[in-house]
Structure 1
Amino acid sequence: MIAFYSDDDVEEPRLHKKLLRSWIEEVARGYGRKVGELCYQFCGDERILQTNQDFLDHDYYTDIITFDESEGDRIAGDMLISLDTVRSNAEQLGTDYAEELHRVIIHGVLHLCGLNDKTDEDEERMRQAEEAALSLLREELGEGETLLD
């Protein structure tokens, strides 16, 4: 099961949830994984900073925090995504907000599939995997469809 929620003070993005679920499952299959319970929680910068401080002893904002509860070949976990940081990253990178949001959504899945981004080499592999996954998503979109409703 893949679920999407938003904090009360954050407007949930209008996602193509059915399409996203099948995309996430397809990406996971590509890494020999099955999808168990995934929970995406959309929040703002202050909540993600507090979570980073409380659970990871990090004192900075980030776009996503992934809590891995995977077992064997079944990925599972909770992912907290700051829509504020996603928006500011999209602006800084000159990228479409919807594309950046989907990159972050799949970034968490890739972590659950075993990819890391701690070293420069790992980060390069992660970026390549994100791009490959985003290409899959673009292929699945119908003519004239956009990433967000």
Structure 2
Amino acid sequence: MIDIEIEAEAWSAALPDAEAVAERAAAAALGAVAGDVVVLLTDDEAVRALNARFRDKDKPTNVLSFPAPENAAPHLGDIVLAYGVCATEANVQGKSLSDHLSHLVVHGVLHLLGRDHEDEAEAEAMEAEEREILAELGVADPYAADVSVEGQD
């Protein structure tokens, strides 16, 4: 099950199909993996508070992933996205908000599935997997312009 919760109305105002976009991206990233995921579309302040509490970084970021403990199966975890940061990044990078949301949801789900980008080899493997999934969704390679998406977690 994929549960999409929209807490910040800015998501719906800017992207009326935000729920469908996020659900489609999460399903594509999960592939054949069975498990439940919650995606929360919220505002910068909510993400800033979570980032401060769980990562000791008192600033908003685009996406946060919270893997569930193994004993919570079939729940794989939660992904939280900040509207302001995501909308600004999409604009600066010349991407649609829909494509950027798809990318960040895929990125977040891959974290829930154990992928990471702590070193160069991991980053390259994760980016390749993201590209493949996004291509299946008809979303252009988010790394093609070599634009940094700093802050993804």
Asked if 2 retains the 8 angstrom alpha-carbon contact of 1:70 and 1:112, the reply is: no
Q: TM-score, normalised by structure 1?
A: 0.75
Asked if 1 retains the 8 angstrom alpha-carbon contact of 2:3 and 2:38, the reply is: yes
Which residue of the partner structure matches residue 2 of structure 1? 2
* Residues 45 and 21 of structure 1, relative CA distance in 2, 3 Å threshold: closer
Asked if 1 retains the 8 angstrom alpha-carbon contact of 2:4 and 2:22, the reply is: no
Asked if 1 retains the 8 angstrom alpha-carbon contact of 2:22 and 2:101, the reply is: no
**Counterparts of 1:51 and 1:113, CA distance in 2:** 21
Aligned-pair identity in percent equals 21
Which residue of the partner structure matches residue 60 of structure 1? 59
**Counterparts of 1:27 and 1:75, CA distance in 2:** 15
Asked if 2 retains the 8 angstrom alpha-carbon contact of 1:6 and 1:41, the reply is: yes
The one-letter amino acid paired with 2:131 is E
Report the CA distance between 1:46 and its aligned residue: 1.3
Q: Which runs of 4+ in 1 moved over 4 A?
A: 19-23, 72-75
The one-letter amino acid paired with 1:29 is G
2:112 corresponds to 1:109: no
The one-letter amino acid paired with 1:78 is D
Instruction: Count residues with an aligned counterpart.
Output: 135
Gaps of 5+ in 2: 140-153
2:99 corresponds to 1:99: yes
Gaps of 5+ in 1: 140-149
The one-letter amino acid paired with 2:119 is T
Which residue of the partner structure matches residue 28 of structure 1? 30
**Counterparts of 1:26 and 1:7, CA distance in 2:** 23
Which residue of the partner structure matches residue 145 of structure 2? none
